[in-house]
Structure formats: C-alpha cells, structure tokens
Chains A and B, each alone.
Chain A
Amino acid sequence: MDIKENTELTENKKEKTQVEDIDRTIYDFRFDDKDAYKVKEGLTEDIVLQISEEKNDPDWMRDFRLKSLEIYYKSDIPNWGPSIDGLDMDNIVTYVRPNTERMHTDWDDVPEDIKTTFDKLGIPEAERKSLAGVGAQYDSEVVYHNVRKEVEERGVVYTDIESALRGEYGDMIRQHFMKLVPPTDHKFAALHGAVWSGGSFVYVPAGVHLDIPLQSYFRLNAKGAGQFEHTLIIVEEGAYLHFIEGCSAPKYNVANLHAGCVELFVGKGATLRYSTIENWSKNMYNLNTKRALVEEDAKIEWVSGSFGSHVSYLYPMSVLNGRGARSEFTGVTFAGEGQDLDTGTKIVHNAPDTSSYVNTRSISKSGGVNTFRSAVVITEKAKGAKSAVSCESLMVDNISRSDTIPSMDVRTSDADVGHEARIGRISDDTVFYLMSRGMSEEDARATIVRGFADNVSKELPLEYAVEMNNLISIEMKGSIG
C-alpha cells in the first residue's frame, strides 16, 4: 500500500470513526443590523408599550401585553432543568425591526441582505420546488409571506399573524390567542405575551386536504436579541395540514433568546403534522412553548429535530380533548459541546379512547447534556386511553451526560399506560454480530448509529430545505470509535 492510499484509508477510517459535531459554518453568517430599528435593551412597561405602538395593536392586545408583563414579574424561574443564569433580560433587545418597509410577497422585493440570508438557507428554492406557502421572519418581523394561488382558492389562509389580527380574522385570533398557552402558564409564556412579534396564522377550512406543506422559517440575525414569534394554526373538521418550521441564527458571544409560542387547534377528524427543525446557534436560550388541542377523532403528529441552542427547554404538549383523539411524537435531540438540551413532551388524555405514542432518540457527545423529560396524564374521563412512551439515549463518550425523567399520573383503571427507556453505548455484541456478517468494524459502528436514529430521521420532512437533511447526513457519516 502506498502512502497516498494509506492516507486515504486513514482519512476514511477517521471519518467513519468519529461522530462529527454539527457543522454550523453554513449558518454562521450575519449581516450588520445598523439600519434596523431596535428598542432599548431590557424589559420595562415603556418598552412593551413601544412594541405595541410599533405593531399598531388593537387596544385589547396592548392591555394583554401589559397584563402579561405583570404576570412575568410575579412568576419565578423554574427550579428544575438546565441553568439559565447566563440569560439576563436586562441585556436582551426584545424588538428589532429589520431595514424593510413592509412584508413582501415577492423575493425580489425583499432587501438584498435579507434575501441573501434566506437564499443561503435554501428557503426560496424550497418554496419553488415543494411548498404550498412560505413565511420568513427576520429578527422580529415577518419579511416575506406568500401562499400559492391554488391553495388560497381552496379557502386556506396563511398569513402573518399581525395582518390577520388587524384584518378579517381579528375576532378569530382574539378568541384563540394565548388561550391554550396562557401567560400564567410559566414565566416565559408571560414574557412572550408581553413582547411577542411576528409569526404566522394558518386557517384550513373543513374538509380541505393540503398535500403540500406550508413552512415558516425564523432567522435571528441581531446580536443580543430575542425572537418571540407566535404561530396560531386552526385546522377545521376533517382537514389535513403539514406545517414545517425551521430556525437558525449566527453565533455570537452574548446570549440570544427565543421564547416563541405555538398554539394548534385540531378540529374533529382533522390531522395536523407539525415538523420542526431547530438549529439555533450555541449562544441561544431556547425557551419555546408549543401546545395542541385535539378534538374528537383528530390527530396531532409532532416531528421534532433539536440540534441547536446552548440551553433548550422544549416540550410540545398535546391535550387530547375529544373521544378518539390521538397524538404521535417523534423526536431526535443531539447535544454536543456546550449544549444542555432539555426536551421531551407532555400529553394529557382528557377524553375516552384517546391514544398517544412517543418515540424519541437522543445522542450526547463532547460533553453535551441531554435530558428527556415527559409527562403523561390520564384523567378520570379518559376511559380506554392508551399510551406508550419509548425513549432511547446513546452516550458517545464518557464526558457527556444523559438523563431520562419521565412521569405518569393515571386516574382511571380503564387505561393502558406503558413506558420504556434505555440508555447506553454501542453494544460490542451488536458490532461483533455485524462484523461476523462481513462488515468492517468501522462500517458496523456507522450502521448502528444510523439505525439508532433512522426511525426518527425517516419521519423528518424530506421536502424541507437543504438544512435538515445536511444536519442528519453530517451526523450519520461518522460512527463511534
């Protein structure tokens, strides 16, 4: 074997024997925000009123913001979960309006730096190829929103939530806004209620089946800023929608904050698939709240890939409120160096014959900390309820950490609740078995790692922009050595 061949072999072996950290250089670009309008750092009543005025809020929304601020001041920080000591609200800018006059429906009208941002992220291309509509948020404002004409003609509404609030859907928004996630839910829900900006409103009429997904993408460009978008989706009886959200930010050496809120109302017999690819930078505190209310015979499918953030608190919640309502949660979380990701799900069975299924995988490496946290509540009304939770964790090295903290509260005898969890490393027996079938050790380990997350990765939206599949591919190239 000559030197070149040997070097190539060594490189291949190295590639296959390392699980590389997520390569974020393609996301780690930024543009100067000197022309943007920003409120001062910190959180005061004056700042909240400034935001409200900037948004041209109706009176009820302004009052709602102020009330939320009061609740924020009175609420305490959780005494569980990763430390958020590094987050100082006095240093966070809660509103940054990018240098654009208004929201656009044509990418060519979007300011150059913003357009370039989304081009690099593959959003316009994804829209052309495979999406029914796109919303793109840059810092605190939605800069682009568009939906295909044929989708609009079917009565589907997909617009930025602020336009909807001021327009014909104002009453509908008011009826639903922060009813599922009230400001009293926790401190950062209250913060969201006070300073929210941007986000999407989706309405799918009864019986409408949207084959192609809608997508929102959130980009936080400004240093030391927060993003507080609100997503409200109403899917009426018998309808179907797949909604995808993605996010990223360049890395700074100061904290950024994401405290968004997602409220999903899934009507009788409807199905909503909500996919998220979270790829915030490693200075981000991701304190997001998502909740779905699922009616009779309806279904919510959560697909969640968490790859970014410095600290995450993320627990999509399903409230199964009608007979036969169902929830499926499929998730993968990858915690690398400098990350403490606390993710999971909550399910409340509040009606008969409801069912839930949770399937999660987590990988910890390079000192990353992964926590899977879940709650399954079966109320007295949930006769015939079934729930199965499965959680597997893979530790790649001996400097990382993985915790599993599930909890179950069952109040009826007529229920079937099962939970299983496993934690460990790659099994030497499995490696030996594959090697006995002719694989090299490197290939065997690579195959096992791919297989570990395969049942999750195959659920992830393939039509999503390049971002997600690149993340998975990079991760799956390596195996543990």
Chain B
Amino acid sequence: MKINRLPAPTWRWMAVNDSEADIDAGCISGAHRFKGVTELSKGVSEIGEGEAVTFSGAFGEEFDDAMAAGGITGERFAVEDDTEVDAPVCQEYVLKKTGDQEETDSKYYVNHTGFYVNQNSKLTIIQFITSDKKDEDTHKYIMSTRIKIGKNSEVKLIQVQNLCTGVSFFNDCGIVCDENASFEHIQIVLGGSRTYMGDRCCLAGSKSRYSCDIAYDLKGSHTLDMNYIADHRGAKTASDINVSGVMSDTSSKIFRGTIDFHRGCSAAVGSELEDVLLMNDGVTNKTVPLILCDEEDVEGSHGASIGRLDDNLVFYLASRGMDEETIYRTMARARIDKVIALIEDGDARGRIEEMLS
C-alpha cells in the first residue's frame, strides 16, 4: 500500500513521491483492535464507537479506503460548546502483541480515535505511545486519529513516541478546522524501528491556524517517514510547520512538508522549517518541502538546513572547553529540548526527560 503521497509528485528517481508501506489493505479488517488507557477530563465525554474515517489524513486515499473497507471503528470523544477543558486528556498506548487483544492470527493492530470539539472550546490531549519489549519485526501498529475543531476552538495534541527496536508504527492524523479554530500538534519521536507519520490539516474556516512542532532522535537503523500537509482553503488562514531532528548511525528519514494554498485562501500565510543535524556518515536524509500556490494574495516560505554544525559555533564552544563529541551531543539534545519546552504540562515534560536520560 502506498502511503504518505506527495500532493505534487516529482522525479521518480528521487524516490520521495510516496512510501510503500508493508500493509496489506485486505488484512486491516481482520486486525486486532487496540485502545489506549484514557483519563478523561471534566468537560470531555465519550460518545461511543463510530466509523473511522470521515475525512482524510496524511496517509492518503488508499489507506482511508482500506480502513473504511475494514469497517474500522473506534472511540470517539466530544467537547461541547463553550467548554474550556482545564486538565489535559491523557492517553497511554502500550504497543504489544499479547494482553487485551483477541488472539487471532493477524499481525496488524489498529486503533482509531475521533475527537469532536464544538464551538468556543479548548482541549489538550497528551498521548504517550510506548512499547515494553523488542518486537520481532513482524507486527504492525496502526493509529488513526481524526479531530474536528469547531468555530473559535483550540486543540493541542501532544504525542510522545518511545518504542522499542523492531516496532513498526503507523500514525496518521486528519484534522479539520472551522472558522478561527486552531490545531497545535507537538510530536516527539524517540524510538522505534519503522515509523510512518503525518498530518493533513484542512484549514477550512477563515482565520483557522495549524502549527506543528516535531522533534526526533533517530539512532541505529531507525527509519522515519513523514508527510505533513497544511491545506489552506479559508481566507486568512495560517500554518507553521517546524521540524527539528538528529540522525545517527544508519538511520534514515524522509520529511515531506506541503503548504497548499487553494484558490480563495486570500491573505493566508504558511511557513515550514526543517533543521536536521547529521551526526555521522551512513545516515540517509531526504527533505521535500513543497509550496503549492493557486492564490495570489498569500505568503508562503520554507527553509531547510541540513548537515553538520556551523564551524563557528563548534569553534566557540570548543574555546569554552568542550570537546567535539560533547558539543554535538549538547546541540543534538538542544533540538529535542526546544520542542519539549513547548509542552506546558509539567508531568509530561518530566516523563519525557526520564525517557531521555
């Protein structure tokens, strides 16, 4: 199955137009269903299981069709009008092969979760996705999240992934924002073997906003495949995608970021920025930052900086007594810390610090 397709393909020899995910579409219907442990906050109600995909995520149509054909349903949560949810909704996902899942032959584990936030409300969701032991490289964990944000509402989704070697993890998010709504996504990727992730945020309503801050630390032979799409449709919409990461050993990564200005999104503003620190040879880094523009009155920009540390910076820190290895470790950690600092919840920050130490 092809997922994470570029909205506008390019030369095939660059091998960035999409990714061939080792997911058999027909097997999704027989997949184990897994749920997280959710601590609901006051103001958030569970509204029962519902159909998975009502609008697209980053993985694309083939994935959406497979989920629909598989009859995948999942938990759905709602926040009513005029509700500022004080405490974050905390969800804990431990990816494993045994436990609550039914014993079937399937190697697939699927979760779908929907959040529906009505007007003038505010919600923060914190998800920790972990695994407790090394996988045998055969099982696939698929998480599909859909969020519908009503007028003037704000949703922040924080996802922290710390998976063991061998785990294949697919994390697809689809978001629709109404007028003056905002979606903020913070993702921290600390482990796992093969991770595919992405957002498609449709800024349907005027003045809606999307921001995405991602930090990753790839080691070993970890692969990370990303696809982030800011779909500007309403006027005066804004998007800001920031990706900051470190790559070591023989890890590989592809980042696709698309700012798509559709006709009618006048006065929209979009920016994307990627900063990748490569720690050694042997890594494979691919970056594809797209701006697609069908509207005159917009401002779009992207920037990417890939490679080693600036020589002047290294010299400065070395002159302060740091050896080169320490300098690189410090600067690598700084890239992750920058995103951690955006998380207001102290408990979550503390837990991430423990994972890093």
Residues in chain A within 8 A of chain B (CB atoms): 78-80, 346, 373, 375, 380, 393, 395-398, 400-425
**Contact status B301-A415, CB under 8 Å:** no
Across the interface, A417 reaches (CB within 8 A) one of B283, B288, B293, B304, namely B304
**What residues on A are CB-neighbors of B308 within 8 Å?**
413-416
Cβ of B290 within 8 Å of any chain A Cβ, yes or no, is yes
| Distance of A80 Cα from B8 Cα, bound (Å) | 7
| Distance of A424 Cα from B296 Cα, bound (Å) | 7
**What residues on B are CB-neighbors of A401 within 8 Å?**
293-294
**Contact status B300-A423, CB under 8 Å:** yes
**What residues on B are CB-neighbors of A395 within 8 Å?**
293, 295-296, 298
The smallest C-beta distance from A227 to any residue of chain B, in angstroms, reads 25
| Distance of A362 Cα from B37 Cα, bound (Å) | 52
**Contact status B296-A403, CB under 8 Å:** no
Extra pairs beyond A79-B9, A408-B285, A408-B288 (4, CB < 8 Å): A396-B296, A402-B293, A415-B308, A419-B302
| Distance of A396 Cα from B295 Cα, bound (Å) | 10
**Contact status A423-B286, CB under 8 Å:** no
Across the interface, B280 reaches (CB within 8 A) one of A403, A413, A421, namely A413
Closest to B301 in A: A422
| Distance of A131 Cα from B283 Cα, bound (Å) | 49
Across the interface, B290 reaches (CB within 8 A) one of A80, A396, A405, namely A405
The smallest C-beta distance from A411 to any residue of chain B, in angstroms, reads 6
Closest to A411 in B: B284
B299-318 interface bits toward A, Cβ cutoff 8 Å, 1 = contact, 0 = none: 11111111110000000000
**What residues on A are CB-neighbors of B289 within 8 Å?**
406, 419, 421
**What residues on A are CB-neighbors of B301 within 8 Å?**
420-423
**Contact status A414-B281, CB under 8 Å:** yes
| Distance of A250 Cα from B81 Cα, bound (Å) | 64
Across the interface, B287 reaches (CB within 8 A) one of A405, A408, A420, namely A408
**Contact status B290-A424, CB under 8 Å:** no
Name 12 interchain pairs, CB-CB below 8 A, sorted by A.
Answer: A346-B11, A375-B11, A404-B290, A407-B11, A410-B286, A411-B285, A413-B279, A413-B308, A421-B300, A421-B303, A423-B298, A423-B300
**Contact status B16-A407, CB under 8 Å:** yes
| Distance of A418 Cα from B121 Cα, bound (Å) | 40
B: number of interface residues (CB 8 Å): 40
The smallest C-beta distance from B40 to any residue of chain A, in angstroms, reads 43
The smallest C-beta distance from B10 to any residue of chain A, in angstroms, reads 5
The smallest C-beta distance from A382 to any residue of chain B, in angstroms, reads 11
**What residues on B are CB-neighbors of A422 within 8 Å?**
299-301
**Contact status A410-B291, CB under 8 Å:** no
Cβ of B320 within 8 Å of any chain A Cβ, yes or no, is no
Closest to A389 in B: B304
**Contact status A380-B281, CB under 8 Å:** yes
| Distance of A407 Cα from B286 Cα, bound (Å) | 7
**What residues on B are CB-neighbors of A414 within 8 Å?**
281, 307-308
Cβ of B167 within 8 Å of any chain A Cβ, yes or no, is no
**What residues on A are CB-neighbors of B341 within 8 Å?**
none
**What residues on A are CB-neighbors of B300 within 8 Å?**
421-424
Closest to A424 in B: B299
Closest to B15 in A: A409
| Distance of A346 Cα from B10 Cα, bound (Å) | 12
- Given known A-B contacts A398-B297, A401-B294, A423-B291, A409 and B302 have beta carbons under 8 A apart: no
**Contact status A397-B296, CB under 8 Å:** yes
> What 10 A-B pairs are tightest by C-beta distance, nearest first?
A413-B278, A398-B296, A80-B9, A417-B306, A395-B296, A423-B300, A404-B291, A419-B304, A408-B287, A410-B285
| Distance of A413 Cα from B280 Cα, bound (Å) | 5
**Contact status A80-B11, CB under 8 Å:** yes
| Distance of A408 Cα from B9 Cα, bound (Å) | 14
**Contact status B307-A417, CB under 8 Å:** yes
**What residues on B are CB-neighbors of A425 within 8 Å?**
296-298
**Residues from 1 to 59 in B contacting A, C-beta threshold 8 Å:** 8-12, 14, 16-17
The smallest C-beta distance from A415 to any residue of chain B, in angstroms, reads 5
**Contact status B303-A419, CB under 8 Å:** yes
Cβ of B134 within 8 Å of any chain A Cβ, yes or no, is no
Across the interface, B305 reaches (CB within 8 A) one of A375, A417, A423, namely A417
- Given known A-B contacts A409-B285, A417-B306, A423 and B299 have beta carbons under 8 A apart: yes
The smallest C-beta distance from B309 to any residue of chain A, in angstroms, reads 10
**What residues on A are CB-neighbors of B305 within 8 Å?**
417-418
**Contact status A407-B296, CB under 8 Å:** no
Cβ of B133 within 8 Å of any chain A Cβ, yes or no, is no
**Residues from 241 to 292 in B contacting A, C-beta threshold 8 Å:** 263, 266, 278-281, 283-292
